[in-house]
Structure 1
Amino acid sequence: MNKITHPPLKNATVTSRNRQRRRKGSALEVLLGSLGLALLATAVMWPGTTTAQVSTENSSKKPRPTARSSASAKTVTSVAPDRPNQPSATARSRKSTKKPRGRLPRYFGKIGLSGKQRERIYAIQAMHRTRAEVLIRQLKLLRMKQDREVREVLTPLQQDRVAELIRMAEAAREARSRARRSPGVSPATKRKRRQ
């Protein structure tokens, strides 16, 4: 009878290595997930026009802020003029000149806040909003200054090459954008043609 011999347990070390790899990957996933949640929280709490703030002429109730992000709200409001019950553009522009109220943080609308509490929250948000806008402008200026100083380090030949690379990247980006917009050949059809 032939005796089957197995090699030493190499799988045990491979498994522990895979676990280490998974741990490293999972740490990255956790970090990216946390970053995504932070961005989502910022988008939800950042004040902006919501669909609830755009009311119709027939509406008698005051609209309540929603928890939609400003990007989805803009999408919805851009479709709004197609509806027959929507106010005219001039009426909307008059309403948009009002001071924005702000938006309650997630779940705050469900806990029964008093009017005073709501107004204090809106005031706090407005104060921080103006400070954030100032800081954003300062950051933009600082980045422009940094870019200018970095470009001054380059030789004229290097500056020309960087400008050329930027133009090439913009042209490639525009070509990809045009390719996505064109109703031409689908990617699956392109793959079949290559084969």
Structure 2
Amino acid sequence: MTRASVTLNQDCVPNSANPHTHLMLVGDAADAPYPRVMFGCLRPEFRGHINSATAFAQAKVMVAASVGTPPWVPTAAWTEVLLPAPACDRFSDPETLMRAVDLERPEKVNALLSYFTVTYPVARLHVMLDEVRGFVREHIVEAFDVAALIVLHDPGRAASANLPHVHVLVVPRRLTSIGLAEQVGALTTDKAHPLIRDLFLTHWSARR
């Protein structure tokens, strides 16, 4: 059965307290079976709001952080950077990677980040993490020679009934031994949602 891709926040107004209002999000319809995948491109500017890869990533890493928590101290259930083989090890630090995205941004760039979220019921968080990590390494990092930050959220920690989910923040520029290079066009378009969703569903189904 072919799944529909629908815009999830068509009329959103940018709000500094909600990173999901800083980009257009496309995802599976509400009645689609799990797993569901949501996708968006964090562009340099969205509806008058100037975006920052650093700020967006930090908000995901420090979800529901208490007032006074030092910057970049993770409160998410898990954070991890996956790097292509040629990349310098220093980019394994999320802050270093995201600051490089902002500081080394070309004048014309389609997207600072390609962002997708995978959600489905799971009995063990480590199983979900392994499944999504394996997908990201094979189909994103190694396929396109890009870096990706994985952030696992467990809403149950905040007494929420929402399902666990994994956010993936992809830097859509090739990462070489020299540093950030050219953009990866396949990852810098809002039309990438069906591509990533279908690749993940195939990967996920193969493990069942």
Question: Normalising by the residue count of structure 1, what TM-score does the alignment of the two structures yield?
Answer: 0.20
Q: Report which structure shows greater RCO (CA 8 Å, sep ≥6).
A: 2
Over alpha carbons, which structure has the higher Rg? 1
Q: Which has the higher helix share?
A: 1
TM-score of the superposed pair, with normalisation by structure 2: 0.19
